């Protein structure tokens, strides 16, 4: 018998990845203040920030599911030392995208598994995203087309949609880009007895 599995997320994309992998699980959104978690950290490494957020989500939801393996995940986007957050409005999304043009930034996907409030596994995967140089005319056109959807992701882009037009190269797997590194996660779930070997 395998251990019950819970995804600590409201993300339809993360749920889809787990469903597509054939996993049986419940899901529940974590109730944490992400900025407060970030403010409490001494480390400012973007990967460690993503991991701390993933762990906080897993622990928060684990309280409601005794004995279950609870998966928390989070993603940070960074360019050098700067960590980006979701834009508050389209003007901020425009400013963020302009700062990425012609540069390569990182998506840092942290994932952690908690059982009864203890972290039993943690991992960070990194994707390197090269944004092509583009004109402000193109950027205005892009933002007009995607509208408020630009505010739903930290980079103001969705690769599965028109956001793909912003890129010249991507290094890293699809799952890391979406925000749930499935290959290391599945390996961990096998070793923890949550899925059949």
Active-site positions?
Answer: 74
Contact of 117 with 68, CB cutoff 8 Å? no
Beta bridge partners of 106: 78, 128
Q: Would you tell me how many other CB atoms lie within 10 Å of the CB of residue 196?
A: 8
Cβ-count burial of 167 within 10 angstroms (0-12 exposed, 13-18 middle, 19+ buried)?
Answer: middle
Total residues found in the chain within this entry: 197
């Amino acid at each position: 018998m395998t251990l019950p599995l819970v995804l600590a997320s409201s993300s339809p994309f993360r749920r889809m990845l787990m469903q597509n992998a054939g996993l049986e699980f419940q899901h529940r959104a974590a109730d944490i203040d992400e900025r407060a978690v970030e403010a409490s950290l001494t480390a400012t490494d973007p990967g460690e920030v993503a991991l701390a957020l993933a762990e906080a989500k897993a622990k928060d939801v684990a309280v409601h599911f005794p004995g279950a393996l609870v998966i928390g995940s989070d993603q940070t986007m960074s360019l050098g030392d700067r960590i980006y957050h979701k834009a508050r409005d389209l003007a901020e999304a425009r400013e963020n995208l302009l700062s990425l043009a012609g540069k390569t930034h990182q998506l840092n996907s942290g994932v952690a598994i908690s059982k009864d409030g203890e972290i039993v596994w943690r991992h960070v995967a990194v994707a390197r995203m090269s944004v092509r140089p583009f004109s402000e005319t193109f950027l205005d056109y892009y933002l007009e087309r995607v509208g408020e959807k630009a505010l739903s992701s930290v980079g103001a882009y969705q690769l599965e949609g028109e956001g793909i037009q912003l890129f010249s190269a991507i290094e890293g797997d699809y799952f890391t880009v979406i925000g749930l590194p499935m290959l290391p996660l599945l390996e961990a779930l096998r070793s923890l007895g949550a899925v059949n070997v």
